[in-house]
Structure 1
């Protein structure tokens, strides 16, 4: 397991720097950030992604299923003298906003969809629509399943945390490798859940279309922008030719970014 996964303040700062450097620019064509902008992050963790939006004066809310992460988010926002609302809850059980004004201009879902059980993905995407304003934007980011570390094995320990593509091994062999490397039962369980989820570019695009989203913008990254913080490597987009090769592109897409809007019904 990398040090950043143990040092949550470092992790918070790295996420904030990535959001400040890359998310703002990525969004600026589609949404203008003002003090009236309402931003929700689902699976907010310690809240690092939300900090730059709070610094811009936006009204930010984070929701996460882990109380420890919510506590850390509140602590870190206080340290940075920023305002934010943080809620510990399963998003699928969250009460829907009653009015348009209570909904959000921007919903962030970064490195979360791959943690949602396959049977819950459709309901998850449909539930998000109730939180978006009619012209709101949903930002999704996730690692394509077949990329070298698409299984999140880096959160494990020992040799397994450093080996690319091992998540593509047959399930029994993958579990044995994780266990012999020293992974705990909880880590193995989380990695098996991600393995079951298997989010590919094709599956994601098919599902969002089925539940009524329109893709406004898509960027497939050969080198994930967050690697600037993690490894001091400059980000690089996929070359257009390779980005347009279905299925194969999952093997070399370290992050897929999407801006979605609700599909408008024809009158």
Structure 2
């Protein structure tokens, strides 16, 4: 387990840097990001992704299941002298938000959601006409698509592709390395709710959303602040090859809009 998984202030600051340097510029290629715009993040955690939007002057709202994360978000925003509204709730149980949104962000959240089709279909009810959705997720088959980096065991947290093992063998391996029960439960849950590029695009076709743009990354932009690795886009030819591209896509950026 890395320090950022325990020190959430570090994680908050790192996410804000990646959002400022990569998420916002990517969105701006297709949609303006301007003061007074309404921005919603679902699965906001401590709110790091939203901080640069707030600094621009956007009206930011974050929703997350974990009350502790929402509490931290409010604290970190106050310390940064920025404004944001944060709500501790299951998005499926949230009956109403007090505004519709120009931009909706779902960063590294989709791979944790069971009812993906319902989740994606429901995004439209929060979206303004001509609004846009930014979704990013790690392709399941990529080396650390199982999130094994959250393990405290240093060996196990650095073993690539182990999440692709059959469930019984994967569980046994985790127990052999003495991973605690809660961590095993989380890792097996992620395995159950995993998402690939192909499964995601099939789901989108079932909703009233369409893909405006897709950018696959061989080196995730967030790795720049985490590991000092410069971001690198996936080779165009490989990005067009179904299933093979999943093994090489450490992050998948999508911009979605409502179908016309």
Q: TM-score range by the shorter chain?
A: over 0.9
* SS of the residue 1:257 aligns to: strand
Whole-angstrom CA distance in 2 between matches of 1:18 and 1:115 = 21
1:28-66 per-residue CA deviation (whole Å, 9 max, x = no partner) reads 122222222000000000000000000000000000000
Whole-angstrom CA distance in 2 between matches of 1:9 and 1:180 = 32
How many residues align? The count is 259
Whole-angstrom CA distance in 2 between matches of 1:105 and 1:76 = 24
Which residue does 1:143 correspond to in 2? 138
Gaps of 5+ in 2: none
**Per-residue deviation, 1:182:** 2.9
* SS of the residue 1:13 aligns to: helix
Which residue does 2:209 correspond to in 1? 213
Question: Given the two structures, how large is their TM-score scaled by the length of structure 1?
Answer: 0.95
The one of 165, 184, 187 equivalent to 2:183 is 187
Whole-angstrom CA distance in 2 between matches of 1:247 and 1:168 = 14
Which residue does 1:44 correspond to in 2? 44
Which residue does 2:240 correspond to in 1? 244
Measured on the aligned residues, the alpha-carbon RMSD in Å equals 1.1
Which residue does 1:109 correspond to in 2? 106
Whole-angstrom CA distance in 1 between matches of 2:145 and 2:129 = 33
The one of 118, 124, 132 equivalent to 1:129 is 124
Which residue does 1:256 correspond to in 2? 252
1:198-224 per-residue CA deviation (whole Å, 9 max, x = no partner) reads 200011011011112111110000000
C-alpha contact (below 8 Å) 1:42/1:91 kept by paired residues: yes
**Per-residue deviation, 1:96:** 3.7
Whole-angstrom CA distance in 1 between matches of 2:179 and 2:129 = 44
